[in-house]
Amino acid sequence: MSVLDKVVAAVTPEPSEKDREETRAKARARSSGNDWLSMVLEHHAGIENAFARVKSANSAASQRMAQKQLAILLTGHSIAEESVLYPAMALSNQKGHSTAAYAEQSAAKVQTAALDTLEPLSQDYFDKLEHLRAAVAHHIHEEEEKWFPELSGLGDTSVQAKLTKRYTEEFERYTRS
Ligand SMILES: [Fe+2]
């Protein structure tokens, strides 16, 4: 981990497992089971599992393959958020949160690209992977704790249905094979 990475990690401590579970359970309780918030929560869990698969890979080829699957999920999810959910936040009462969300996801995209320059199974690779995982975990927690529960209360059911339709379209446009 670089000095800068360590500084970033120190000022943005990762939420505990218990905090994350409680926050996700509350967010799930706000969702309807088939709306954009449910899909986001499902994608967040998928991203966490994809990180675990990259970490536990036992050959260079399988680690690179797991990394590609993680990158597809991360990119598809982030594009859908950046095209649909963050604009809706910015256009309502969450301009500051929206700006922070874009900045954090831009940083994650740079770190994802950096991972591609490192040798699988090397210490540098695992350090970068852990840095990226912790940054994404922090970002996900911010979304689930405050930003998205607030967005899920915006407007009437037609506003929420439009967000669900557009989030789904954008995610599928990228991840459909
Ligand atoms: Fe997200």
pLDDT attached to residue 5: 58
Q: How far is the CA of 44 from the centre of ligand 1 (A)?
A: 6
Q: pLDDT tens digit string along 75-127? A: 999 999 999 999 999 999 999 999 999 999 999 999 999 999 999 999 999 99
pLDDT attached to residue 3: 54
pLDDT attached to residue 14: 78
| pTM for the whole structure | 0.91
Q: How far is the CA of 136 from the centre of ligand 1 (A)?
A: 8
Set out the domains of the chain in order of their start, with CATH numbers: 17-175 (1.20.120.520)
Q: How far is the CA of 120 from the centre of ligand 1 (A)?
A: 26
Q: How far is the CA of 18 from the centre of ligand 1 (A)?
A: 19
pLDDT attached to residue 163: 98
Q: How far is the CA of 85 from the centre of ligand 1 (A)?
A: 9
Contact 89, 99 (CB under 8 A): no
Q: How far is the CA of 63 from the centre of ligand 1 (A)?
A: 23
Per-chain mean pLDDT for the chain:
93
Q: How far is the CA of 153 from the centre of ligand 1 (A)?
A: 17
- pLDDT beneath 70, residues of the chain: 1-12
For 156, list phi and psi in degrees, rounded to 5: -100, -170
Buried b / exposed e along 148-174 (16+ C-beta atoms within 10 A)? bbebbeeeeeeebeebbebbeebbeee
Residues ≥6 apart with Cβ < 8 Å to 43? 73, 77, 171
Q: How far is the CA of 137 from the centre of ligand 1 (A)?
A: 9
